[in-house]
Structure 1
Amino acid sequence: MPLYSRTTTAWLVCFLCLPSFTMAASTKHKKQSQNQAPVDHIQQKGVSVNFKLATPTTAGTPTTPLRAGEEASIEFTLTDATTQKPIIGRKPRVWIAPNPEKKPTSDKQCRKIIGSYLQGSLGARPEIDLNAYYILALNQEANISVIDPLQGYGGSKLLALVELAAPGTDWVLDTPQKRLFVATPSNKQVAVVDTATWKVTASIEANSAADRLFLQPDGKKLWLTAEGAEQASLAVIDTDTLKVLATPETKMGGAMVGFSTDSRQAFVSQGSALSIFDTQTMAKRGDINLQTAATSLAYANLAQALYVVHGQEGYIEVVDGSKMAVIARLEAKPGMQSVHFSPDGRWAFAPNPKDNHVYVFDTADNSLAQTIDIEGGPDRVSFTGNFAYIHASKSEYVGLIPLSALNQKQKLSVLRFAAGQQPPEAADIGELNPLAPTPEGNAVIVANAAEKTIYYYAEGMNAPMGSFQNYLRHPKALLVVDRGVRETAPGVYASNVKLAHEGRYNVAFVLDTPRITHCFNATVTADPKQGKDTNQSATLIEPLSMEYKLTVGQPVRLRFKATDSTTKQPKIGLKDVGVMAMLAPGIWQQRLWAQSVEEGIYEVSFTPPKPGMYYTFVHCPSLGVALNRQPTLILQAHVATADSSSTMGK
């Protein structure tokens, strides 16, 4: 029997529950001057949306027209149609696909296209999906797992494995999330990973065994520190050239670094001294004497102050960089390791694994707001918009603290869920964080190194909704690379894309609150340096039929139709249409080359060896059609019965 729905992670199922789309919009296409990128404008339900797709030049002025193969910036500006104020905190969904028609897509057709994307319909796949994200796991081994949580098949969601020259001790993503810096102190290097190819593309040679990385908020400079080094333990790297800019003099190894919000000031702690540097000139502005040695540093954007944790003694000093002075002292208990700030900057969370408490301070007046009991040695904190998540090294449970309840005077009750069955304490995570929020905004992922597993938890559930195997590797920290559009300025949602082929494109846009849908238009011209794009390969390869019956031990012929999406003509004479058949969850597979049986029709035959669910995947290297991680056809094979007969095809 055919299965019309593709397997998917549970958190995507909610997309299928969307009510019918409505369109009551006025659409305008603003005319731009010769040197400006075209801007499309729509207004629906009190919301104005400006769309722009452009390639910025080095001078910052967009070029026009957009050319195939160029990296472009895609941008949506959302404002209130009445007040013109930016609309912030949203998560638009966007897909880009070739538009074979010579006219703009109608509202009705647009709704149909968007619906097919949301449901994962067979044969309805965009060229670019700006809703994807990847989970990165820094392992105890010398590698990084790259997991695609929204795709994958047969239980395997491992997209790539980044091999490092040595185990990583710290890592940080650059601001546009194009590069990942990984400290590998045992070989005195910092690896630079390209997040487009998932390859190590460069290595920064460090003068000492740098084991901590600190990236300025503006992303321009990377500061390296080395624990226990005697000299040159602090180095500043230009992230553009990857060259050493400065090696500020330090008294000893193990420096920690914090930055002001505008990246103009760097705070460097060593022992009981705190030095403040001008990041533009790299000149030291002065020193502040602390009472005791610092355990960690963190800058509070809302308070515009540096919070210096003194873990052994059990207090936090608050430093005003402009005044070059300590302005407050927050008392707690000995054992604190770090301080973490809520997304709005209001609340400072200081976990204390020694006394099993999390101290929450109000940065508005530096008062102690809450002392929260967390069993199992709380050591790390991560946030979504609604909750603080507390990791404990000696417990498999993760605590949840509602941010909206922190103003209450009474003692808070802590929600919790089990991220596995074993405590993760076997992992030596150092300063790393095994928690990370996902782009959905209401979920987190949790690494459990003891179980070699990553758990996915969505708010409102009693337990994780699912998990990802890390393939016998021990994950000690997690990061998320978001391929979707992100809010880069108030009300401005943007990302970078690269359209490989010339032609017209649909840019399908969905905003959930209020519900807005629209298909914008984009045109890409051929790159004159490359000549005309004769193989745009907006090629659709889809099953000729969905009605196949599979019987164990009996051959079945599967047919696929290859069509040029632009001309609607069949793609004939292809010699490299490949099909992979796989029995879930990956326990058997067979790769076959299809034979041309009619114009644009290609056929393979295989015999299912066991009952179960079979996934088929199609690729064609000559057309640039990769072996898609989303199955083309899902079929169920049954054991032969007395009245069953061999079925060859439909």
Structure 2
Amino acid sequence: MRGRLPWAALLGLLAGPALAEPTLAEPTLAEPTLAEPTLAELAQTDPVRSGAAGQPVVSLRHAMGGAVARLELRPAPGEALEAGQALLLRLELADEDGRPLRGLRPAAWAERGGGGIACRDRVRGLLENRLGRRAEVNFNAWHLAYLGDNGAVQVLDPVGGTSRTRLLAALALGGEAGGWAADAAGNRIFASVPSLGEVVEIDTLRWVVARHIPVGGRPARLALDAATQRLWVGQDGEAGATAEVALLGLDTGTVLARLPVGPGPHALAALGPGRALAAGTDGAVSLGAEGASPLPGLGGGFTEAAHSALAQLSLLLDAAAGRVLALDAAGQPVGLWTVAPGAAGLFPDPTGRLLFIPEPGEDRVTVIDLARRAVAHRVPVPGGPLRLGFSGTQAYVQSREGSSVTLIALGSLEEGGTPALTGIAAGSGALEGGAALGPLVVAAPGQEGMLIAEPDQRVVHVYMEGMAAPSGLLRAPRGRPLALAAIDHALRETAPGRYETRAVFPGSGRYILPVMLQGGDFLHCFEADLGEDRALPLARRLTVAPPESGDTLPAGTPSALRLRLSGPEDSPAWRSAPDASVLLTQLSGHWQERLPLRPVGDGRYEAEGVTPPRPGLLRLHLVAPSLGLEAGTLPPLMLRAVSP
């Protein structure tokens, strides 16, 4: 089970009518489910800063509520343990007898500054996210990247974004893209730019363009060989294109080989470590790092290539002639099936057993059972089916016309079964064959929902399987989506009781790392130093202490509120900020009020006439623009209004 905030949190953000202002869910950290740690438990926190063979490691341990957690930060081999590097966060969870705790849902964050806040209140503020407050590093996050037809990759933050925009980054490629690939780990995305003769590599941990890799000609379709960390690059066949496929080494960012395959456009499929298949108008070619071997007797006119690792078959589509070929590992034809001319593509299911071929001219999808090497079904799908995407249980068919997406239950396609179809109102307008450069239907991380692009409307539908309709929309702010990738940066279980992810810490300083077990009794704020914090902005070096009068205020009766701000000695502006104010919000009744704070010396501030209308919880944010403090910059203080 993957570690992340519940999918319901996303639905809370997206709930409501199409493109309506999202409504935010109330806190998921209940009052007070967590017992205060005992002295014995507190004594079990022990920081370490070295690892095996001298590798720099931050290792922190804490026991609470029957769980023992060890949190480690590790750099990549040969790298320094410092901010700006991609660090591995490893969380090992066991019970008091040392048995691994499996299948948990840990949530974790990291942020600098803002000390003096109870860990529970810190986490509550991060979960609520009502005023744009977000941690510097979110170990529960996932992002949606889409390739736009405007020559840029846009990155959306579905959960952490604000109601105004969910746009996290916009990365210009320098021209319109011709191909798209994402590695399985989700750390890198590649896009080819034919007009520049380049492949652009995007670092998804930092969301920056990492490299422009010269290829030459007009690079187009891409096929990633994950086992060898190499990238096969085809050409688009237009003026200036070459008649070769390039093999890129991703460790060096250089062209390792240029293999002659004939004129493009080239369809590509990675077949396994060091092997690929290229196909085009003149036929098909088997590729390896050592050279290219034409496959005779197959004919030409191929527009699509795919591979099934399960069936150990390479697959080719000749759309004009209406034929699908299957080749064995030696490149020999072992299967030939007839489909309607104009078939729109080859779409193997996640297992690799079933091959789906949409036939828009016939309003149907042909399903081939690759294990039996036979046509299993001809499934009627109205509207001119064009593209497919998959969850673990359903095939999602996008059509040219109509106002719905057709779902075909994969379990109903077993030998002798009757295809089970349903429709959901997720819009129309699937991209014509060749226009899409990658998947337009992808599973959201955690496999709890699906993301379905509607390119012409520039939206992505959020759909929970089993529901009658999508639960919300994500707006694609710039450009029609041509490909989607859901990038998962959340903690995931990599071994029994071990949860890991990678992240980049943005700057040096002391980080507070809250860790919470959802549905459990463990909550602790670890602390780790990643260099001196002198480069930190002043706002991140400030802390606010709870009111001197305690954490309660009388309801319905004016009273005074006194706060204490602390900061660095070398930047004394915090001692008497003239524009300081306090923003108070009551969790029930939607009451909110901003009151000026009067500096009374040495970081102390006071407000008069604070009058919560009713008993209940209050959230307090300190605001001072001259210090860089906006609502949500510092963790909120949690107070309670009580009957006088």
Instruction: Answer yes or no: same fold by TM over 0.5.
Output: yes
Give the 5 Å matches for 1:378-527.
378-407=385-414, 409-420=416-427, 423-424=429-430, 429-471=435-477, 473-486=479-492, 493-499=499-505, 500-503=507-510, 505-510=512-517, 518-519=522-523, 524-527=528-531
1:250 alignment counterpart: 261
Q: Would the alpha carbon gap of residues 535 and 364 (structure 1) be closer, same or farther in structure 2, given more than 3 Å must change?
A: farther
Conservation of the 8 A alpha-carbon contact between 1:418 and 1:463: yes
Distance 1:503 1:139, change over 3 A: closer
Corresponding residue number in structure 2 for 1:210 = 219
Amino acid at match of 1:239: L
Equivalent of 1:537 in 516, 540, 548:
540
Q: 1:572 aligns with which of 574, 577, 580?
A: 574
Residue 109 of structure 2 aligns with which residue? Answer: 95
Give the Å deviation of 1:258: 1.3
Structure 1: runs of 5 or more not aligned: 550-558, 582-591, 605-614, 634-650
* Structure 2 residue 277 is matched with structure 1 residue 267: yes
**1:56 corresponds to 2:56:** no
Paired AA for residue 460 in structure 1: G
1:73 deviates by 0.5
> How many angstroms does 1:74 deviate by?
1.6
In the TM superposition, what whole-angstrom CA distance separates every residue of 1:361-399 from its partner, at most 9, and x where no partner exists?
333333333332221222222222332211112233112
CA distance in 1, matches of 2:397, 2:579: 50
Question: Retained in 2: the 8 A contact 1:122–1:542?
Answer: no
SS at match of 2:362: coil
Contact 1:42 1:48 in 2 (8 A): yes
Q: Which of residues 75, 89, 92 is equivalent to 1:74?
A: 89
3-state SS of 1:153 partner: coil
Distance, in Å, in 2 between the alignment partners of 1:297 and 1:145 is 28
The amino acid across from 2:247 in the alignment is V
| C-alpha separation in 1, matches of 2:307 and 2:243 | 25
State the one-letter code of the partner of 1:55: P
Q: Distance in 2 between matches of 1:86 and 1:287?
A: 52
Q: Say if 1:627 and 1:123 are closer, same or farther in 2 by CA, change over 3 A.
A: closer
Task: Report the Cα distance in structure 2 between the residues aligned to 1:212 and 1:237, rounded to whole angstroms.
Answer: 13
Is the contact between residue 51 and residue 520 of structure 1 (CA under 8 Å) also seen in structure 2?
no
Residue 9, structure 1, aligned to residue 24, structure 2 = no
* Other structure's SS at 1:460 match: coil
Q: For residue 143 of structure 1, what is the aligned residue in structure 2?
A: 152
Determine the C-alpha separation between the residues in 2 that align with 1:560 and 1:419. 53
Q: In structure 1, what is the equivalent of residue 589 of structure 2?
A: none
Equivalent in 164, 171, 177 of residue 173 of structure 2: 164
In the alignment, which residue of structure 1 is the partner of 2:336? 329
* Gap change, CA 1:517 and 1:631, over 3 Å in 2: closer
Is 2:160–2:166's contact at 8 Å kept on the other side of the alignment? yes
Which residue does 1:319 correspond to in 2? Answer: 327
Change (3 A) 1:365 1:546: farther
Closer, same or farther in 2 for the Cα pair 1:448/1:50, shift >3 Å?
same
Question: 1:155: how far off?
Answer: 3.4
Per-residue deviation, 1:248 = 0.8
Contact 2:65 2:522 in 1 (8 A): no
Measured in 2, the distance between the counterparts of 1:445 and 1:564 equals: 45
CA apart distance, 1:418 = 1.9
The verdict on how the C-alpha distance between 1:371 and 1:53 changes in structure 2, with shifts beyond 3 A counting, is: farther
Q: Which residue of 1 aligns with 2:19?
A: none
1:299 matched to 2:314? The reply is: no
Structure-1 separation of matches of 2:146 and 2:414: 35
Alignment partner, residue 637 of structure 1: none
CA distance in 2, matches of 1:347, 1:48: 45
C-alpha change, 1:119 and 1:527, in structure 2 (3 Å) is: closer
Distance 1:235 1:425, change over 3 A: closer
1:371 aligns with 2:373: no
CA contact 1:153–1:629 (8 Å) conserved in 2: no
Q: How does 1:117-156 map to 2 (within 5 A)?
A: 117-120=126-129, 126-156=135-165
Q: Are the counterparts in 2 of residues 217 and 259 from structure 1 also a CA contact under 8 Å?
A: no
Which residue of the other structure, out of 345, 355, 359, is the alignment partner of 1:348? 355
SS in 1 for 2:315: strand
Please identify, of 288-297 and 32-41, the stretch whose mean Cα deviation from structure 2 is larger: 32-41
Kept in 2: contact 1:40–1:52 (CA 8 A): yes
| Aligned-partner SS, 1:211 | strand
CA gap 1:525/1:48 in 2 versus in 1, 3 angstroms: closer
AA at the equivalent of 2:540: S
Q: In the alignment, does 2:250 pair up with 1:235?
A: no
Residue-by-residue CA offset, 1:289-313 (whole Å, 9 max, x unaligned) = 4244322111222223322233333
Percentage of identical aligned residues: 22
TM-score by length of 2: 0.71
Offset at 1:426? 8.3
- Quote the RMSD (CA, aligned, Å): 5.3
State which drifts further: 307-316 or 499-508.
499-508
For the structure 1 residues 44 and 287, does the alpha-carbon distance in structure 2 shift closer, same or farther, using more than 3 Å as the test? farther
Shift in alpha-carbon separation, 1:364–1:163, aligned structure 2, 3 A: same
Amino acid paired to 1:155 = R
C-alpha distance in 1 between matches for 2:416 and 2:66: 39
Per-residue CA deviation, residues 419-460 of structure 1 (Å, 9 max, x unaligned), is: 23x535589724433322221412222222322323222223
Task: Say if 1:577 and 1:602, in contact at 8 Å, map to a contact too.
Answer: no
CA contact (8 A) 2:223 2:231 kept: yes
Distance 2:400 2:258 in 1: 35
Which of residues 259, 268, 277 in structure 1 aligns to 2:287? 277
| C-alpha displacement of 1:133 | 2.2
Q: In 2, Cα distance between the equivalents of 1:164 and 1:562?
A: 48
Offset of residue 256 of structure 1: 1.9
Show the counterpart of 1:588: none
Contact between 1:443 and 1:457, CA under 8 Å: does it hold in 2?
yes
Q: CA–CA distance in 1 between the matches of 2:61 and 2:166?
A: 38
CA contact (8 A) 1:180 1:193 kept: yes
Q: Is the 8 A contact 1:175 1:219 kept in 2?
A: no
Residue 540 of structure 2 aligns to a residue in which SS? Answer: coil
SS in 1 for 2:460: strand
SS in 1 for 2:388: strand
Q: 1:196 to 1:344 in 2, by over 3 A?
A: same
Cα distance in 2 for residues equivalent to 1:487 and 1:571: 46
Q: Distance in 1 between matches of 2:120 and 2:430?
A: 46
* Structure 1 residues 268 and 124: CA distance shift in structure 2, 3 A: closer
Q: Equivalents in 2 of 1:42, 1:370: separation in Å? A: 56
Distance 2:373 2:100 in 1: 32
Query: Using a 3 Å threshold, how does the CA distance of structure 1 residues 289 and 479 change in structure 2: closer, same or farther?
Result: same
Q: Give 1:274's aligned amino acid.
A: A
| Mapping 1:550-629, distance limit 5 Å | 572-573=574-575, 597-598=599-600, 600=603
SS in 1 for 2:195: helix
